[in-house]
Amino acid sequence: MKALNVLILASATMMGANAMAAEKPAIALVHGAFEDAHIWDGVSAKLQADGYRVINVNLPGRPSAPMAPNLVSNDVYRDVVLKAIGSESKPVVLVGHSFGGIAVTNVAEAAPEKIKTAVYLAAYLPQDGESMLSLAKQDRDSKAGPALKIDEAKGMISVNYAARADLFANGAPEGLRKVLPDLIIDEPLGPIVTPVKLTAARFGQVDKVYIHTAQDQVVSPYLQQKMVAATPVRLEFTLNTGHTPFLTDVPGLVSAIEKSAN
């Protein structure tokens, strides 16, 4: 009888744990410009170990998701994310890094019922009529502008190779700074210059969280704070990192994402 009671107790404990895991929302991760979904590998592994189902979204127009630059648009990005989360029966936590905030915003406007919380990680948080480019022009403290090269003939934008480590891996270990420049990829130009169209009835009703990056050289703390002042959020977190905390502070970033999901 004692053994039976132990089995029953163990079974109940497992069922309780499974029920708790089942209640956790899926977390969809959207990378930013000059990146692909591999930036999230460390974050995904930790979230999955903590019982979350993770959806990694790869935006088109890069080597890992080829598409001709002239075909890439914010609508395409939006639809790729919507397809990735379309089979989810419950609203998801949608996390966007940097330019990924534009994609998250467009999804929130198109399908607010699919989103439990929109999480902006060092991300562009636009108002109606703004684009990544228009927001970047307001960023008095960003050091990215001089390092960007636009190739209008090819419809692409790139980052000066010599500037990549300082921009994207400031404060990172030297080993990471050495390899990171080769991980930065060129980006289709069209989505970066395209304004968003937002309404208070749709995007305005979506729960929002912002994760600040205090040492950011790309989307500066000044612009991050300015965007949050213009579009209030439910929660704010601050990581003492540069623009890529998914490489330099995985535990801190995962903790912020999981708290956002509650």
262 residues of the chain, pLDDT tens digit each:
444 343 333 334 443 444 444 589 999 999 999 999 999 999 999 999 999 999 999 999 999 999 999 999 999 999 999 999 999 999 999 999 999 999 999 999 999 999 999 999 999 999 999 999 999 999 999 999 999 999 999 999 999 999 999 999 998 999 999 999 999 999 999 999 999 999 999 999 999 999 999 999 999 999 999 999 999 999 999 999 999 999 999 999 999 999 999 9
Neighbouring-strand partners of residue 92: 115
Cα 179 off chain centre by? 22
User: 3-class DSSP state for residue 150?
Assistant: strand
Residue 23's pLDDT is what? 85
pLDDT at residue 22, rounded to an integer: 55
* pTM for the full predicted model: 0.91
Instruction: List, in sequence order, the alpha helices (H) in 130-220.
Output: 132-136, 164-168, 174-179, 190-193
Q: Considering only CA atoms, give the Rg of the chain.
A: 19
Of 64, 261, 83, 242, nearest to 167 by C-alpha is 242
Q: Please check whether residue 247 is in contact with residue 239, taking contact to mean a CB–CB distance below 8 angstroms.
A: no
Residue 212: name the closest of 115, 104, 98 by CA.
Answer: 98
Considering only CA atoms, which of 115, 102, 104 is closest in space to residue 25?
A: 115
Question: What distances in angstroms separate CA 12 from CA 1, 5, 124, one per listed residue?
Answer: 16, 10, 45
Angle at 151 between CA 65 and CA 178, to 5 degrees: 65
Amino acid at 31: H
Q: How many Cβ atoms sit within 10 Å of the Cβ of residue 82?
A: 15
Q: How many residues does the chain have?
A: 262
Rounded-to-integer distance, Cα 223 and Cα 142, Å: 8
